[in-house]
Amino acid sequence: MSLFSDLGREQKEAIGLLQIGTFLEYFDLMLYVHMAVLLNELFFPKTDPHTAALLSAFAFCSTYVLRPFGALIFGHIGDTMGRKSTVITTTVMMAVSCLMMSLLPTYAQIGISAAWLVTICRIFQGLSSMGEIIGAEIYVTEITKPPVQYPAVCMISVASSLGAVAALGMSSLIISTGISWRMAFLMGALVAIVGSVARTRLRETPEFVDMKKRLSHETAKLKLNQEGDAAEIAQIKKQIRKWGKEKIDKKTIGAYIIVQCGWPLSFYLAYMYFNPLLKTTYGYSAEDILFHNFLLSILLCVINACLGLLSYKIHPLKILKVRSTVFLLLVVLLPFILSFSTHSFHLFLLQSLLLVAAVGAHPADSVFLTHFPVLKRFTAASFIYAVSRALIYVVTSFGLVYLTKWFGCYGVWAIALPITLSFLWGLSHFEKLERRSGALPSLKSPFSFSATSG
């Protein structure tokens, strides 16, 4: 029997459309990230290695630092106008920013203005991607139920990983064949337009529509009963506050922030941290690094798909607990592993292990989302997602430049250990919430999840 055999035709079509859109969106977003070894030389002035590392970190972080504003904008749209409007708007924004990127003049043509223009384009791409993946995950969460909900939402992460693989493949092709890099971003603009058109077929999620109807009905009742029974009016107001102005538990907010801090650390360690070492110690060229990361991205797609399938039988929080424990061990051993490394394959193996054990919300994205009120879900989840990523990407990309300079490989501990230990605390909070709801009946074994629970 197929994993998604219990889903209706409309549900399957919606999941498919959202996967395609997310794939296209992340293809566009990751193009610059993986072509940075080439594009930073075109848009930024040539400087000494230390300054070049800082400029590279600046270009990388520019995508993420203003994401919280995008989260507030798209979160408001998603919680008032609906999930469908948001995911369509974000794809159109990505198409426009990619088209602008393909037309930008370089540093050699207009000087430092080129650096500012490319940064602005990256900011717009970051803003649009903010509403994209959270919007898609919320949409799928609200049209499905556990346990099929877990792998269904995981497919969104798989699509984003595939988008990154395609971006790496395109980047590698561009650099190895000498085709203009502008063609990559022009292609990105075209595929984003395709994604926008495809998503017009989506319908609004029943959970969002139902909650809006309830709120509207209670508001109408309040207007009609202004002169009525005081107890009835008080009850109506209470119901309106519950649905429309429900407060989110502060501890849940804190735990979700910590959980979302995990993936930026994992991503940076797996994809970015070792690039200078590959260049200086093993003589890797930009093309070699792209191919190296291309293989890692393929591995990440396989990992995400396997975790999604596994989450159908094992509760996602239990999977995350095992992964984060292994990741903590790898972080502790990382400096010692590097000291014994004598071949680039050793680095590839270490990077692969970091991806297998990566700390992050996947495959429990839907678990976290369901613990936020429906009419505050988009704003809260997207804002927390954006703030955590902006903070940790800045901390890791800039912080590790200096920490590595001062302490060598041991500098990783200053950032990675606190984040990983905090991540484990965040998981424990959501485990309590899941136990309270009956979706996580036992913590004795990480393999005690029943497919019928939840």
Burial bucket for residue 339 (CB in 10 Å: 0-12, 13-18, 19+): exposed
pLDDT at 447: 40
User: Which one, of 221, 211, 259, lies nearest residue 376 by Cα?
Assistant: 211
pTM for this entry: 0.75
Question: Is residue 134 a part of any domain in this protein?
Answer: yes
Per the structure, the complete domain to which residue 331 belongs is given by 9-204+246-437
CB 91 within 8 A of CB 435: no
Residue 238 inside a domain? The answer is: no
* pLDDT given for residue 337 in this prediction: 87
CATH number reported for the structural domain that contains residue 177 in this entry: 1.20.1250.20
Is residue 198 situated within a structural domain? yes
Task: Decide if 338 is inside a domain.
Answer: yes
Is there a contact between 368 and 437 (Cβ–Cβ < 8 Å)? no
Is 120 inside a domain boundary? yes
pLDDT of residue 454: 35
* Sequence-ordered alpha helix ranges (H) in 311-373: 316-340, 344-356, 365-369
Domain count, the chain: 1
**Would residue 413 count as lying in a domain?**
yes
Q: How many C-beta atoms lie closer than 10 Å to residue 313's C-beta?
A: 13
Establish if 212 belongs to a structural domain.
Answer: no
Which residues, given as ranges, of the chain have pLDDT below 50? Answer: 1, 243, 443-454
Computed on alpha carbons and rounded to an integer, the radius of gyration of the chain in Å comes to 23
Q: Per the domain annotation, does 76 fall within a domain?
A: yes
